[in-house]
Amino acid sequence: MSRADKTLYFLLRFIQSLPNALFLGILIMMGVEGGLKKEIGLLRACLLGWIATAVLLVLHGRRSIKAVEEACHKSENVIID
């Protein structure tokens, strides 16, 4: 994959991950406020959720790109999750 293809892949994955980051942020907020009895706020919780999602996105994205490149070298069909 070219650098432009990789950039486009990560950009599209980032856009797709925004709802997941929001959901994860709400879960973090509920966990902190319920377990630690500390006010965290929705914006901070969503930021933490997005950071966690971004880390997972990069780790999974690298593995997916590597699988696509290996399959292209072998001329195989690839299904990307």
What pLDDT score does 34 carry?
76
pTM of the model as a whole: 0.55
What tens digit of pLDDT does each residue of 61-76 get? Answer: 777 777 777 777 776 6
Q: Is residue 81 part of a domain?
A: no
Domain count, the chain: 1
Q: What angle do CA 25, 8, 26 make, to 5 degrees?
A: 5
What pLDDT score does 14 carry?
80
Q: Is residue 7 part of a domain?
A: yes
The boundaries of the domain holding residue 14 are 3-74
Q: Nearest-CA neighbor of 60 among 22, 10, 15? A: 10
Q: Is residue 31 part of a domain?
A: yes
Q: Is residue 79 part of a domain?
A: no
What pLDDT score does 78 carry?
58
Q: Is residue 70 part of a domain?
A: yes
What tens digit of pLDDT does each residue of 24-64 get? Answer: 888 888 877 777 777 777 778 878 888 888 888 888 777 77
